[in-house]
Amino acid sequence: MSSDLRRKSRPFNSPLECGLRMLFILTAQAERFADLQRLVNYDYLLVHSGDIPDGPKSLHPDVPFRGNELLVKRDLVHAGLTAMFSRELIEKSFTIMGIMYRANELTLAFTKLLCSAYADDLRARSQWLVERFGDMPDHELEIFMGANVGKWGAEFDRFTAARDLEL
């Protein structure tokens, strides 16, 4: 099996996985539009909500230097949004601020069909995400992310350094 074919058949870290998370996020923010950068930030905050003080437990396990995920998620989130748009599950608008995304009438109907503990966790964390960051202007969200991205996952570096100490 070629590496490209193997990558396409993986459900994790795939456009499908990111696209599904985008559906929950866009559903939680109802009528609001969001651009790709906000959605990339939201995807990180949704998956690693435990990185935020008073945030719910993270959906996925903590990994070293997870803040670096922001650097590689943009293409994945974009591919996920494109896949969901191609299935008419989201709305895309071209504005003077760029391409904006939001939920449509099918987004909520589709996400309601997803019944699992993970889907329930996505719903709850998406609601928390929008309540916590939804009113934050884009530039303030960028400042917040920029100020913290180097800290998220860096605790693993300290553990490695402590193990190497000779006492």
b/e code 91-129 from CB counts within 10 Å (16+ = b): beeeeeeeebbbbbeebeebbeeeeeeeeebbbebbbbb
Does residue 84 belong to any structural domain of this protein?
yes
**pTM given for the model:** 0.85
Does residue 165 belong to any structural domain of this protein?
no
When divided into structural domains, the chain yields a total of 1
3-state secondary structure of 87: coil
Does residue 89 belong to any structural domain of this protein?
yes
Does residue 102 belong to any structural domain of this protein?
yes
Contact 47, 59 (CB under 8 A): yes
Distance from C-alpha of 46 to C-alpha of 32, rounded to nearest angstrom: 17
Domain that holds residue 61: 15-150
Does residue 48 belong to any structural domain of this protein?
yes
Tens of pLDDT, residues 25-75:
999 998 899 999 999 999 999 999 999 999 999 998 877 777 778 888 899
Does residue 161 belong to any structural domain of this protein?
no
Tens of pLDDT, residues 87-122:
999 999 999 999 999 999 999 999 999 999 999 999
